[in-house]
Structures are given as C-alpha cells and as structure tokens.
Amino acid sequence: MWPRNPDEFVANHVMPEGADTGDAWYFVFMRGELVCKTVQGSPEPITADDFRWFDVEVHGKHFLGHHGSLGCFAVSASGSVPEGYMLMPLRGLLGRATQSLFYLAGRAQQILEWHDTNQFCGRCGAAMAVHAEDRAMTCADCRIVNYPRLSPSIIVLITKGEEMLLARNANWPTNMYSTLAGFVEPGESIEQTVHREVHEEVGLSVDNLKYFGSQSWPFPNSLMLGFHAEYRSGDIVCQPGEIADAQWFTKDTLPQTPPKTAISGWLIDEFIQSLG
C-alpha cells in the first residue's frame, strides 16, 4: 500500500547500500505522467521488480530517501507502458490517492524537472554536474550552484459572515471553484502578497489574516502558505484572462471544490467546521 503518514518519509540524496531492492518504490514519469498500476481503480506503487520488466529507455534516476525501510526513487523514462499499467497526470492523484502518495510523487516530479532543466549553466553555458555533497547541480567553470527550485505562494479563503468567496480560474472546468492563490513577488512579505493577490484577482480588500498551514504543491515547485481572511470592502471585479468567475457561497450552496488532499480543500473544510 502507499504510505499512510508523510512524516514517515526521510529524505536523503545519498543512496545507501541496499536501498534499491526489488520492493523499492519507483516514481516513474513518462511524457510528463506518472506510471501507475491500479487495484480496484486505486493507484498502487510501481516497484523495482515491476520496472525491470519494462522495455523503456531510462533518462534519469534519483534516490529520494526512505519510507520506512523502503527506498524511493524518481525515474524519467521513455517507451511503452506494459499491459496492466497506466499513465496518470499528477493532478489525477488528487482525490484518488493518499496525501503521502501525492507528496512523494510530487517530490519525484520536481526533482526530475530540476535535474532536466539544469544540465547547462545559466551564467556561462558550461555543462553542469551533480554536486558531490548536496542535492544540487554545480558548474565547474564559474562555480555557480543550483538547488531544486522552490517558489513560495499564498492561498487564501475569504469569508464574510457565513459566506466564503470562491473563484473559477479561466482554464478550469465550468463548475470547479477554489480559493484564491498567487506567487510571492520579490520584495514582498507573505501578508503583502495576500492583499495584492486578492485585490488583483477579485478587486476586494481584506482584514484579519490568520495563517492556517502549508502544503508542498508541485504545480509548479510551490510551497503553498494558507490563510483565512475576512472581507473588508469592495465589489467583485474578476481579473481578465485569469479569473472567469467569483461568487460568495454558503456551505449549502457550494459548487465543485478541490478534494481534501489539497490545501484549498482544507481551508474550506476548516471554515465549515467552525460554523458548527
């Protein structure tokens, strides 16, 4: 089974002897999608024993760490997926897999993307090499070191009495609504980002920011910092090209919202629970 507790995973970029055993977990990405096997419709892990029967070309393999006694690996490959296995977009795990699976698969995808996009130095153009001690790529010519990229961003649920503001991104399905989110810009504090993003996306002002929690989010390379905030003033004005619609909803009139494996789902559920 997939790991039940994400805290049981211990990250490590140095592979100890014996980590790559037959039952080690392989997070294999092909054409940007995760290779899965399914049991009664639920995703199950690919193991080293499973993968050795695949007729594919391996482009990269990275040790991620251990979950319990099992080694975990990120693998990029190309070729055909054997019968009994399927390719699944990472977003497809939301609502179908545990948070542990989602976190580990997201970690694997980010490590593969970081390694693939740092083959050459962005400063001098020389070839990069794996750092001898850290999870990093280094340039022997100009000595620049590139660690896996992480982009802080905010996600906020705005409330007004028993109502909550939810918005639909211009690229989402018609009935999917969620909380507002956006990336931190250089020179901003997290709180400033909340106020700016809310005003930019829906034209509102908010007060009483309360930090809720955080979540690793690989779309792309993000650390989501969650907040609750209270409506202060303004009328809803959706940002063109970004927000297709935004409305006030009650717990009884909710549209389709993200599952509870996403921090947006946590924010919404926490507010509803607070209403008693």
pLDDT tens-place string over residues 132-173: 999 999 999 999 999 999 999 999 999 999 999 999 999 887
Q: What does DSSP say about strands 128-130 and 205-217: parallel, antiparallel, or unpaired? A: unpaired
Q: Residue range 201-217: average pLDDT?
A: 97
| Alpha carbons 16 and 210: distance in angstroms, whole number | 42
User: Of 3.40.50.2300, 3.40.640.10, 3.40.50.620, 3.90.79.10, which CATH number belongs to 151-274?
Assistant: 3.90.79.10
Q: How far apart are CA 261 and CA 265, in angstroms?
A: 7
Cα–Cα distance list, 270 to 159, 165, 193, 276 (Å) = 12, 14, 22, 10
User: pLDDT at position 107, please?
Assistant: 95
pLDDT at position 5, please? 55
The CATH class that applies to domain 6-116 reads: alpha beta
Q: Where are the domains of the chain?
A: 6-116, 119-148, 151-274
Return d(Cα 77, Cα 87) in angstroms, integer. Answer: 12
Q: What's this model's pTM, rounded to 2 decimal places?
A: 0.89
